[in-house]
A and B are shown apart, each in its own frame.
Chain A
Amino acid sequence: MQNLIEIIFSVSFGYAVLRVMTPILFAALGAVVSDQAGVINIGLEGMMLTSAFTGVVVSAYTESAWLGLAAGVVAATLMALLMGYFSLKLKTDIILAGIAMNLLASGGTVFLLYVIAHDKGVSSSLASKVLPQLELPIIKDIPVLGAILSNHNVLTYIALLSVIVVYYFLYRTPLGLRLRAVGENAHAAESVGVGVHRVQFIALAISGMLAGFGGAHLSMGYVSWFSRDMTAGRGFIGLAAEALGGRTPFGTLVASLFFGFADALSNYLQSLRVPSEFVQMIPYLATVLGLAIYAQRQRAKKALLSKKG
């Protein structure tokens, strides 16, 4: 127990939490934007994977990590638009379309990896680049806090900034208002002249873009290579964090931190011979509970409204 407390309050643990949280937070913000527009993006996992792969390949060929990042984000966004085309235009069930995207990414990346690098497991034969780590001026000199907050991959800071950007976008811009209106009641939004499909397309594109950043972090920050199915469910965890965070950007940040915390903790616990399975289970159980409580509250609210009406 003593050990455990020491670990949790150690500087390297705090650093690890932020590092582990980064891809989850990107995915979760992507889930917030699409869900607020009434389109559930189950394909986040596949979009992240696509971006992780594209980033590695493009950065290896252009010798620029930034071009790799850009290509990864574009690839993930295109995938989101493809999903949008099928679900919004051709009326494929959006959840099935998402599952298809995940399949496509999981198989497609391994297939292409074999074509490009003649390896079905990892991309180590490609000399891909890594996005730089950033030293924060002033903050880095603060004791303890500096060591936790500074010197992260640049994408970690972009992720934290994205929370504010997404918040501003959703609650302070006309497009954000329309987006939420579409999610709240598509028919009502349509009746006042909002192009529902157009808004949902935009929401999906933003969602894919954010997933793209998260995927790039995995292969060009977290580690420096691509390996098959390296997202390992982080897209789904993002959906969980979004549900746990009550579909708001800041709630989602807290939930993502919680997931990052549990994940980092389980890594440390393994070294202490505590069954890490239980620690890893907690965030998912918490999500299920949170979901039930949230749904219950929504229902109570609805019942109250209909009584008043």
Chain B
Amino acid sequence: MKRDMLFEFGRTLVAIGLALLLGFIITYLVSENPGEAFSTFLLGPLSSVRRFSTFIETVIPLIFTGLAVSIVFQASQFNIGAEGQFFFGAVAATFVGVALDLPPVIHVLVALLAAAVAGGFAGYIPGILKARWDASELVSSLMLNYVFLRLGLYIINYHLRDPNAGAMVSYPLKETAWLPQFLPPTRLHWGLALAVLAIIFCYYFLYRTRWGYALRMTGLNLSFSGYSGINTASVIVYSQIVGGAIAGLGGASELLGIYRRFQWQMLPGYGFDGIIIAILARNNPLLVPVAALFLGYLRTGADIMARMTDVTSEMVAVIQAIMILLVTAQAFLAGVRHRMVVRGAKAHAKLD
């Protein structure tokens, strides 16, 4: 068991190393000054307080969608829907923030609740379709992204749109609905605390409650869990609902903490980021922040590199793609693992 974890850890490091190496080769090929470009990329986020705080801001939504995807993945269900759930959660929070008049704190809580319900609802649909009709949650969650994108845009563009703003954006949220920024002049906001709470909740939920136990068992072996009396259909549904609610909260946190008026006209891509993070974190809620910090660091570094040097930030997408491919490639470095197992077995045999 320990050897397996060590191997997985090592393999992840090798994969990350190879991806970064490739990033360096690409930089070397296109840049006038590759050394400077690459060191800006690797060290940029640490070079000033403002950049460091931008880096932490970037990490917050990544934690939410990373957790959302991890929970659903742990039930061995697919989830491409975090994208739409995140978006729809932000729409719900906007609605509460613009249309309702509530006292301070309560306003924020109601907005967050609305976002969690909206996201949970968006997750419920692929869950129930899978549990009741055996319809692939992969395809349905993918399609529902577009449904919730359009539905959300309809709500924003036809009911909450600010006609005095130059662009297609909603009215600004009422100040009572803001998640306060606690360290001006940075934009760090209380969504960070919310993200930490979400991590603790997910860990507790998965490893300390019977629902989490049933969820993990269903993920390990659906038929076995079914025979041993776990209601796997309901597990599938609630894993998607919990995942959706967390993704929805993530959308609300971004909106109430940073943007404060709705301005997306397309899906912002955090759902797919969540998949990358869940993969790197092996679906473990406690590792999600580590993976999110790593990914957020790469993103921020790439943005700084794009501003300061002649290499564009999209290089990081290539690095991410290679990381996904290598980290999840079960046969990658399988030879090393095989030798480790053989050596372990031999040592064991000698002891006997």
Interface residues of A (CB under 8 A from B): 40, 86, 89-93, 95-97, 99-104, 106-108, 110-111, 114-115, 120, 233, 236, 239-240, 243, 275, 277-278, 280-281, 284-285, 287-288, 291-292, 294-296, 298-299
Give the residues in chain A near B125, CB-CB below 8 Å.
288
List the 8 closest pairs (A to B, CB-CB), nearest first. A107-B317, A90-B329, A104-B321, A91-B330, A277-B154, A295-B135, A107-B314, A100-B324
Give the residues in chain B near A99, CB-CB below 8 Å.
272, 275, 324
Closest to B324 in A: A100
| Cα–Cα distance between A90 and B312 once the two chains are bound (Å) | 30
Closest to A280 in B: B150
* B28 close to chain A: CB less than 8 A: no
Give the residues in chain B near A89, CB-CB below 8 Å.
331
Give the residues in chain B near A299, CB-CB below 8 Å.
133-134
Say yes or no: A108-B330 contact (C-beta < 8 A), given A99-B272, A99-B275, A277-B150. Answer: no
Give the residues in chain A near B150, CB-CB below 8 Å.
277-278, 280-281, 284
Say yes or no: A91-B135 contact (C-beta < 8 A), given A281-B147, A281-B150, A288-B125. Answer: no
Give the residues in chain B near A295, CB-CB below 8 Å.
129, 133-136
B75 CB to closest chain A CB (Å) equals 16
Cross-chain contact A284 with B133 (CB below 8 angstroms):
no
6 more CB-based (< 8 A) A-B contacts, given A107-B321, A243-B136 = A93-B328, A107-B314, A110-B314, A115-B30, A278-B150, A284-B147
For chain B residues 265-280, which have a beta carbon within 8 Å of chain A? 272, 275, 279
Q: Which of A107, A236, A281, A291 lies in contact with B129, CB distance below 8 A?
A: A291
Cross-chain contact A108 with B318 (CB below 8 angstroms):
yes
* B316 close to chain A: CB less than 8 A: yes
Give the residues in chain A near B331, CB-CB below 8 Å.
89-91
For chain B residues 139-153, which have a beta carbon within 8 Å of chain A? 139-140, 142-144, 146-147, 150-151, 153
Cross-chain contact A110 with B135 (CB below 8 angstroms):
no
Give the residues in chain A near B317, CB-CB below 8 Å.
103-104, 106-108, 111
| Cα–Cα distance between A102 and B317 once the two chains are bound (Å) | 10
Say yes or no: A291-B139 contact (C-beta < 8 A), given A100-B325, A104-B317, A107-B314. Answer: yes
Cross-chain contact A92 with B153 (CB below 8 angstroms):
no
| Cα–Cα distance between A102 and B318 once the two chains are bound (Å) | 10
* B158 close to chain A: CB less than 8 A: yes
Interface residues of B (CB under 8 A from A): 26, 30, 78, 125, 129, 133-136, 138-140, 142-144, 146-147, 150-151, 153-154, 157-158, 272, 275, 279, 312, 314-318, 320-322, 324-325, 328-332
B173 CB to closest chain A CB (Å) equals 22
A-B contacts, 30 listed (Cβ < 8 Å): A90-B331, A90-B332, A91-B329, A92-B325, A96-B324, A100-B325, A104-B317, A106-B314, A107-B317, A111-B315, A111-B317, A114-B312, A239-B139, A240-B139, A240-B143, A243-B136, A243-B139, A275-B157, A278-B150, A281-B150, A284-B144, A284-B150, A287-B143, A288-B125, A288-B144, A291-B139, A291-B143, A296-B133, A296-B134, A296-B135
B62 CB to closest chain A CB (Å) equals 15
| Cα–Cα distance between A285 and B145 once the two chains are bound (Å) | 11
Closest to A228 in B: B314
Cross-chain contact A239 with B142 (CB below 8 angstroms):
yes
B273 CB to closest chain A CB (Å) equals 10
Cross-chain contact B151 with A107 (CB below 8 angstroms):
no
Cross-chain contact B272 with A103 (CB below 8 angstroms):
yes
Closest to A295 in B: B135
Closest to B333 in A: A90
| Cα–Cα distance between A233 and B143 once the two chains are bound (Å) | 10
Give the residues in chain A near B144, CB-CB below 8 Å.
284, 288
Give the residues in chain B near A108, CB-CB below 8 Å.
314, 317-318
| Cα–Cα distance between A106 and B314 once the two chains are bound (Å) | 8
B105 CB to closest chain A CB (Å) equals 34
Give the residues in chain B near A243, CB-CB below 8 Å.
136, 139
| Cα–Cα distance between A240 and B146 once the two chains are bound (Å) | 11
| Cα–Cα distance between A110 and B144 once the two chains are bound (Å) | 27
| Cα–Cα distance between A287 and B140 once the two chains are bound (Å) | 8
Closest to B158 in A: A275
Cross-chain contact B151 with A281 (CB below 8 angstroms):
yes
| Cα–Cα distance between A278 and B151 once the two chains are bound (Å) | 7
Cross-chain contact B312 with A100 (CB below 8 angstroms):
no
